[in-house]
Amino acid sequence: QQAWVQMVARYGKPNHLNEREGRGFAVVGYGKLGGWELGYSSDLDLIFLHDCPMDAMTDGEREIDGRQFYLRLAQR
């Protein structure tokens, strides 16, 4: 939530989201993380999914490509 707010404040919201609800982004944990069996020696198995058309751009002052927006969001 916090990363999303920071990204939208900096770059604006991806323009393909203006016509629908949601954010078009999901983080899926599997393995020990998904099974709630995570320990100190466990690795993190994460998948980042986004629903973004190839031509999507953000609508803020610092406009960036929609795919770049989701990449930076995942890195946060």
Report residue 63 CA to chain centroid gap: 16
> Of 57, 52, 49, whose CA–CA distance to 25 is shortest?
49
Amino acid at the residue 39: G
pLDDT digits 0-9 by tens, 25-68: 999 988 777 777 777 777 878 899 988 899 999 999 999 999 99
Predicted confidence at residue 35, as pLDDT, reads 74
